Amino acid sequence: MPHFSDYALDVTILKALEQLQYTEPSAVQEATIPLILERKDIIALAKTGSGKTAACAIPICNMVLTEQKYIQALIIVPTRELALQYAAELQKIGSVRGVKIFAIFGGESSGLQLSKINHGVHVLVTTPGRLIDFIYSREIDLSHVKTLVLDEADEMFSMGFYDDLKFVMGCLVHEHQTLLFSATMPKQIIEIAKHHMVNPQEIVLTVKDEKLPSQVNHHFLYCNHTERGDALLFLMEQFTPSQSIIFCHSRIEVEKVCRLLQQDFDGIDFLHAGLEQKMRTVVTNKFRSGKIKHLVATDVASRGLDFSGVTHVFIYHLGDDPDVYVHRSGRTGRYDRAGAVVTLVTDRELGVIESLKKTKQLNVEWIGDPPPERGPSRGRSLGPGRHPPRKPSQEQK
């Protein structure tokens, strides 16, 4: 079994890892850390929650020349929340060695961010938009960057950042290392590898059509679309989650569901991209610390963010993409802990359930009556007491 001490890491990095109780590298860390230390270009396909952040943070913090005050590693991520999380992980690993880390993103004063960068930053974590702003204004020096990281690359492409990323990579005309981490392999990654990477080492730790984690139980409740609210209240009462995320498909739906839950439960708040950045940061930190018990959110919370205390995920609105279900499910069962995903299903979403069964080998367990096998259905009413025919067993919880 490999150990972090097997790698050529500075004693201060090993000390930090020991303090964090990082004993053995995960599969993605074991595969990538030696190559990163050798300054190889990498394309790594690995699922969310596999330890990708530390896989970059450990060798980057080890390679930084702390006596130099310029940006040596540039890490680009899709969202502000992920930028803050990435910076926090880097800080925990590199602070003992004196590595200076800073995260920039929109919604904050660019003047204050620039002042901090000019004061001396070794590792800069950024979202694409704010970085582009600084590049256009010629206020940032990237000429000393030795390592470029694109994390959650497929998510950035789906958010429309492909051209921005190509522009940034085109600005780094000097020799440097590029590390690309993704959960899937869209065609844009192949294009980037062809034009902007040098003999990239490909590491594939995802399996096409792989099964969902065995430690997570998946439950489904069939209902009429007009009954979603009552159904969710029933499920929250029956499963009694310690901490949960309730996924909705839009900002309006998020706020509607939040108001509904606040009538019956304490510790409810919401998160979506329409909130000001300061409020998003406050909500994220309060949820991570446990001050918020139940977070109603859009998919801004489905990728990358590490909420290790989540015991249950409730999917209020399933949507059409099976991969979205996988990403949402990944918010529970972190680090091999037990978790549960509970999904509301209407007639419109039965096709997605069939797709999940075929492509993800999902074992569908219905709470109460399953949907009819054929013919149209109006769904079934939960009734005034919000009780389907049978309750979840203790084992299901």
pLDDT in tens, 329-351: 878 876 667 789 999 999 988 98
Distance CA 352, CA 319 (A): 8
Mean pLDDT of the chain: 86
163-171: Cβ within 8 A, 24+ apart: 164/128, 164/129, 164/132, 165/76, 165/128, 165/192, 166/192, 166/195, 166/196, 167/132, 167/135, 168/76, 168/128, 168/131, 168/132, 168/135, 169/196, 170/196, 171/135, 171/142
pLDDT for residue 306 = 66
pLDDT for residue 397 = 47
Q: Is the pLDDT of residue 391 over 50?
A: no
Q: Is the pLDDT of residue 118 over 80?
A: yes
Q: Phi then psi for 9, rounded to 5 degrees?
A: -105, 145
Question: Cβ(360)–Cβ(211) under 8 Å?
Answer: yes
Q: 384 pLDDT band (50/70/90 cuts)?
A: very low
Tokens found for residue 286: 């309060």
Percent share of the chain, pLDDT over 90: 53
pLDDT in tens, 127-171: 999 999 999 988 899 999 999 999 988 888 878 899 999 999 999
Q: 305 pLDDT band (50/70/90 cuts)?
A: low
Percent share of the chain, pLDDT over 70: 88
Alpha helices by DSSP H, listed for 45-79, are 52-63
Residue, of 43 and 275, whose pLDDT is higher: 43
Q: Flag the least confident range among 10-24, 297-311, 314-328.
A: 297-311
- Give me the mean pLDDT over the 54-76 stretch: 95
pLDDT in tens, 70-84: 999 999 998 888 899
Distance CA 331, CA 149 (A): 23
Q: What is the CATH number of domain 216-366?
A: 3.40.50.300
Nearest CA-CA partner of 164 in 188, 186, 139:
188
Question: Cβ(377)–Cβ(224) under 8 Å?
Answer: no
Distance CA 35, CA 29 (A): 10
Q: Is the pLDDT of residue 270 over 60?
A: yes
Q: Flag the least confident range among 99-108, 168-177, 369-378.
A: 369-378
pLDDT for residue 211 = 53
Q: 393 pLDDT band (50/70/90 cuts)?
A: very low
pLDDT for residue 383 = 42
Distance CA 321, CA 249 (A): 12
Domain covering 4-204, topology = Rossmann fold (3.40.50)
Q: CATH 3.40.50.300 residue ranges in the chain?
A: 4-204, 216-366
Tokens found for residue 96: 């003992």
Q: Is the pLDDT of residue 99 over 80?
A: yes
pLDDT for residue 303 = 62
pLDDT for residue 214 = 66
Q: Is the pLDDT of residue 313 over 80?
A: yes
SS3 42: strand
- Give me the mean pLDDT over the 265-290 stretch: 86
Q: Is the pLDDT of residue 257 over 50?
A: yes
Q: Is the pLDDT of residue 394 over 70?
A: no
Query: Would you say the pTM of this structure is higher than 0.75?
Result: no
pLDDT in tens, 176-204: 999 999 887 788 888 898 899 999 999 98
180 - beta bridge partners?
43, 150
